[in-house]
Amino acid sequence: MEVTYQLDFAQELKKCVRCGKCRTSCPVFHELRGESASPRGRLALVKALQTGELEPSEELADRLYTCLLCKTCAVDCPSGVISDEIFVAAREYLAEALGQPLMQRALLRGFLTRPGLHSSASSLMRLYQKSGAAALLDKTHLIEHLPEKAGAAARLLPDVAGKPGRKRLHEVTPAQGEKKYRVSYFLGCATNLLYPQVAEDTVEVLSRNGCEVVTVDDVKCCGMPHLAYGDVDTARELARENLRALADAGSDYVVSDCASCSATLGESYQHLFGPGTPEQARAKELADTVYDVSRFLVEVTGIQPGEHQVEATVTYHDPCHLSRAQKVTEQPREVLRAVPGVEFREMAEADRCCGSAGSFSVMHHDISTKILDRKIDNVEATKSEVVATSCPTCTMQLSFGLRERGSKADVVHPVQLLARSYRGR
């Protein structure tokens, strides 16, 4: 079994002593129960694939893709098995052995590698929604007769803004007051396309806290979707381009408001290149400068609260790529507590996966919504008016779950509430 993702397969697989602790914390196993739905079971399948006991097959691929890559098993494992990394590498092998579906290949190697297409896609999605087609599908229940994945995508899609984030931001936004740092803002695809107001608020907050903000124009997708689907070659090419673009910006730090982007930039890039290569050296240098925006505000600039009250009860959901991949948990809560007028309410199981995991909520919609139900129960128990989270796909998933329950609670990024305290709205 040969893969290019930098991982010592044999050594990692030996660590698993089959204790079964991963079964108790895996959200997917909690819903499906079968051994092959547990991290331990999937590791056994990967080992059989490695030794040649199993051949690549669609059935095997389905087992290994029915995983959120939420890192819960890796964090909880007493033996330190990095099972999520093993599954990424195994997916690379299966993608090479079985090939990729045409639409998946077009999305990963076409749309997601060409930022210029995002604006066109935004316009088409907005036309679909504003033309009444989306409302008609829902009102007439025709959406229920769409193919499962298309119907799931249509239900999950938020209202699309008229202009993507990249077109709303200046290339350089000066610091307000004394300039303390020059910061490169890494604008992720989902934030750019679906939540451009988050991008505007992030840049405003950084500027208000003493940063000259460079919205780096020629960065591309961070590569997380490609890694999730085993397209490591494309992820590696994207990493090379992003490493170059971020280095050319000449900033002190790289900051992102997307948990997946900061996790990929800060961790995954180091696994894409061989030891001792110039690219891995650059990836390690980048990792030392990459910050989630909440962590950056708490640990580097300090939080400058605004003068206006934001009267709201707020709870917080921990994205997997922030809490487990980056160990960033308290910092977003500190940002929320710093907002004048906010009453923070901790929810039960705040760090339990919401079931989104990028496109998992579309590709495995039934499992995803079962996992989501537990999360929405915990949100509603706090009786909060606002749910804050630091990941656009979590925002989409939570918003969908709350709509389905008939809840009026808003889902926002923590920096958006801080930005409101500056503007008074």
pLDDT 10s digits, 102-155: 777 777 777 777 777 766 666 666 665 555 554 544 554 444 434 455 556 667
1 belongs to a structural domain = no
Could you read off the pLDDT of 317-350 as tens digits, one per residue?
Answer: 999 999 999 999 999 999 999 999 999 999 999 9
Angle, helix 83-98 to helix 58-65, in steps of 10 degrees: 150
Q: Are residues 253 and 271 in the same domain?
A: yes
Instruction: Please check the confidence at residue 402 and state whether its pLDDT lies above 60.
Output: yes
Give whichever of 48-57, 117-126, 373-382 has the largest mean pLDDT.
373-382
Q: Are strands 410-412 and 386-388 parallel, antiparallel or unpaired?
A: parallel
Q: Are residues 169 and 295 in the same domain?
A: yes
Q: Are residues 393 and 359 in the same domain?
A: yes
Q: At residue 239, what is the residue type? A: A
71 belongs to a structural domain = yes
Q: Are residues 295 and 272 in the same domain?
A: yes
Q: At 58, give phi and psi (nearest 5°).
A: -65, -35
Describe the strand order of the beta sheet including 342-344 as a list of residue ranges: 342-344, 312-316, 386-388, 410-412
Q: Which residue has the tokens 């829902």?
A: 138
3 state SS of 384: coil
Domain with 274 in it: what CATH number?
3.40.50
Could you read off the pLDDT of 152-171 as tens digits, one per residue?
Answer: 666 777 777 778 899 999 99
Q: Are residues 359 and 258 in the same domain?
A: no
Could you say which DSSP state residue 301 is in? I
| Stretch 189-210: mean pLDDT | 95
Q: Are residues 249 and 175 in the same domain?
A: yes
* Residue 299 exposure: Cα atoms within 13 Å on the Cβ side: 15
Could you read off the pLDDT of 59-92 as tens digits, one per residue?
Answer: 999 999 999 999 999 999 999 999 998 999 899 8
Q: Are residues 65 and 128 in the same domain?
A: no
CA distances from 171 to 62, 112, 127, 210, 238 (A): 43, 21, 28, 17, 21
Q: 326: domain range?
A: 306-423
- Answer with the one of 273, 299, 325 that is the final residue of a domain: 299
Q: Are residues 113 and 67 in the same domain?
A: no
Domain with 27 in it: what CATH number?
1.10.1060.10
Q: Are residues 413 and 333 in the same domain?
A: yes
Q: Are residues 62 and 150 in the same domain?
A: no
For 52-160, where are the alpha helices, taking DSSP H only? Answer: 58-65, 72-76, 83-98, 102-109, 116-130, 133-139, 148-156
- Answer with the one of 66, 98, 130 that is the final residue of a domain: 98
Q: Are residues 222 and 258 in the same domain?
A: yes
For 174-309, where are the alpha helices, taking DSSP H only? Answer: 189-194, 196-208, 224-228, 232-249, 259-266, 278-287, 293-296
- Answer with the one of 81, 98, 115 that is the final residue of a domain: 98
417 belongs to a structural domain = yes
Residue 123's pLDDT is what? 65
358 belongs to a structural domain = yes
Higher local confidence (pLDDT), 358 or 316:
316
Among the listed residues 166, 72, 46, 56, the one whose alpha carbon sits nearest the alpha carbon of residue 117: 166
352 belongs to a structural domain = yes
The number of beta carbons lying within 10 Å of the beta carbon of residue 249 is: 21
247 belongs to a structural domain = yes
Residue 252's pLDDT is what? 97
CA 142 to chain centre: 30
3 belongs to a structural domain = no
Q: Tally the domains of the chain.
A: 4
Angle, helix 39-51 to helix 58-65, in steps of 10 degrees: 140
Confidence at 293, pLDDT banded by 50, 70, 90: very high
Q: Are residues 92 and 147 in the same domain?
A: no
CA distances from 348 to 314, 322, 374 (A): 14, 18, 10
2 belongs to a structural domain = no
User: pTM for this one?
Assistant: 0.90
